[in-house]
Amino acid sequence: MTPRPPAPLALRAGSRPRSVAALLLAVLLAALLPGPSRADGTAAYGSEGIGDPYFPLDGNGGIDVQHYDVHDSYLLPERWLSGWTRLTVRATDTLAGFQLDFLLPVQQVLVDGTPVDWSRPDAHELRITAAVDAGSTHEVLVRYAGRPDAVGWDGERNWLADSHEVVTMNQPHMAAWWFPADDHPQDKATMDVHVTAARGLDVIANGRRVSRSVHGRLATTHWRSVEPMAPYLAFFAAGHFEVRHGSDHGLPWLVAVSEQIPSATRRRSMRLMLRTPAIVHWLQGELGRYPFSSTGGLTTSLSPGFALENQTRPTYPVLGSAGVTTEVHELAHQWFGDSVAVQDWRDIWLNEGAATFMEARYAETHGRESAQAWLEGLYDDNPDGSAFWDLDVADPGPDHLFDWQVYQRGGMTLQALRHRIGDDAFWRLLRAWVHDRRGGNGSTEDFVALAGQVSGEDLTGFFQAWLRDPARPARTRANGLR
């Protein structure tokens, strides 16, 4: 995600701060949820969360979603969404039932073609009563209908739409507003998305378009993502878009710009979107092979206040003079954040710090200041005692995931590391990280361990100083500043 300066705080759309007491209560409740079996050995429901300390109800215990087949219809003027999703679910435990994360009203649930009982323990959880054995695979179909813009959860109201356009973009939560999911980056799945809308509208989503069929006043567009994806990265946009597509160095690309944007601004936006293939090609030279089978981008006329790294096709607001920098950031996320996702949300600096560092690297290789000059400039601009150094960016808390320090200090940490261990070891580290964990997840502890392994150095103090200590790192060679 790229925030739009100068608003560094609380960039989740419609978010509200949560008290420490509320967070601790949520963690305690998650710890008390039933596990995969009771004391008497009988099967229980899978837990209502996957175990993330920041968001205890995100994801679900006891299941692993393999594939989503989403069939949604959306009426723009009424802002009404209806449809069904078929999930291919593998049970990882023997259970009497399991949960999915979903916010819209549910009409019916079937498991392997048979209607089953279901309930709503709270607004976020869909509890399905269906006995499953560990290792078994099942088809779960959920039918639903409602107004996503009328639905909120945990202070978030994430639906972005007007009477002309809709784009499902947000972080760390978005899926639950339009399809039932195991909504955490630890559970990635392949995805088919079918969206039915008015015949005159364009529908854009992740991956590659498979088909478009017209039936009366409506049309259904089918998009497919063949590489596993975290649910929050899935998106669709419906509206009137100018669309361009092609292939660059064998990689298919598609970009789109809303026709609701005034013509002069729209032309500028399209020029920016058309730079996507060249930026991806440059990133491949830095980081290794692009991790997906297509790329692109979409500029919306709506005002989300941020850009987002939707897998294969980032979504952007109308961008100004810093547009190329924002594109570099979101496209770098295809490696850092999409292909290699966070283990838990507290590891977000790995995503945002790496994408911010790649902005500085792009500037360095395109005739602007060096990344080291960028690092030292930020260091000098934030003296001892500045609030810039207060946050533990390796564990910022759920209300500070997208604070400016996470981005800037995360990027500074990587450039300081580069200066300390040298270019050869640094680039071997980044390339090993995105290659070895391709399609998976990684934590801060994993990255620190790999950095020590690749460099042959004890970097414990370095990472402590840059990420965790509430003070400006000393200006030393050991901290990458001399």
Provide the residue type at 368 as one letter: R
Cα(24)–Cα(58) distance, integer angstroms? 15
Beta bridge partners of 144: 83, 106
Q: Which of 292, 321, 275, 274 is nearest to 233 (CA)?
A: 292
pLDDT averaged over every residue in the chain: 93
Interior CA angle at 442 toward 436 and 447, to 5°? 80
pLDDT at site 311: 98
- What is the percent of the chain with per-residue pLDDT over 90, rounded to a whole number? 90
Cα 185–chain centre separation: 8
Q: Is the pLDDT of residue 30 over 60?
A: no
With contact defined as beta carbons under 8 Å apart, do 44 and 36 qualify?
yes
Q: Tell me, what's the pLDDT at 71?
A: 98
How many C-beta atoms surround the C-beta of residue 150 within 10 A?
11
DSSP letter string over 245-297?
EEEETTEEEEEEEETTS-HHHHHHHHHHHTTHHHHHHHHHHHH-S-SSS-EEE
CA proximity to 59, closest of 69, 44, 67, 47: 47
Q: What are phi and psi of 117, to 5 degrees?
A: -75, 150
- Predicted pLDDT of residue 206: 98
Number of neighbouring beta carbons within 10 Å of residue 457 = 14
Tell me what the mean pLDDT of segment 415-422 comes to. Answer: 98
pLDDT over 80 (residue 19) = no
Mean pLDDT of 153-169: 96
Tabulate helix, strand, coil % of the chain (nearest 5). Answer: 30, 30, 40
Write out the H or E segment, with its range, that includes residue 215: strand 208-215
Q: Whole-angstrom Cα distance, residue 401 to residue 6?
A: 16
Structure tokens at 292: 């997906």
Amino acid sitting at position 287: L
d(CA 179, CA 145): 10
What DSSP string describes 140-194?
EEEEEEE-GGG--BTTB---EE-SS-EE---SS--GGGTS-B--STTS-EEEEEE
pLDDT at residue 38, as a whole number: 53
Over residues 101-119, mean pLDDT: 98
The structural domains of the chain, ordered by start, are 2-239 (2.60.40.1730), 345-468 (1.10.390.10)
- The two most distant CA atoms of the chain are separated, in Å, by 69
The secondary structure element, H or E, covering residue 208 is strand 208-215
Q: 248 phi and psi, to 5 degrees?
A: -135, 120
Instruction: Provide the H-helix boundaries in 288-369.
Output: 323-332, 348-364
Burial of 412-440, coded b for 16+ CB within 10 Å and e otherwise, reads: bbbbbbbbbbeeebbeebbbebbeebeee
| pTM of the predicted protein model | 0.92
With H, G, I as helix, E, B as strand and everything else as coil, classify residue 468: helix
Residue 27 has pLDDT above 90, yes or no: no
Beta strands in 14-123 (DSSP E): 44-45, 63-75, 80-91, 95-101, 106-111, 114-115, 118-122
Pairing of strands 106-111, 80-91: unpaired
pLDDT at 378 over 90: yes
Query: In angstroms, rounded to a whole number, what is the distance separating the alpha carbons of residues 351 and 338?
Result: 9
- 244-271 per-position pLDDT tens digit: 999 999 999 999 999 999 999 999 999 9
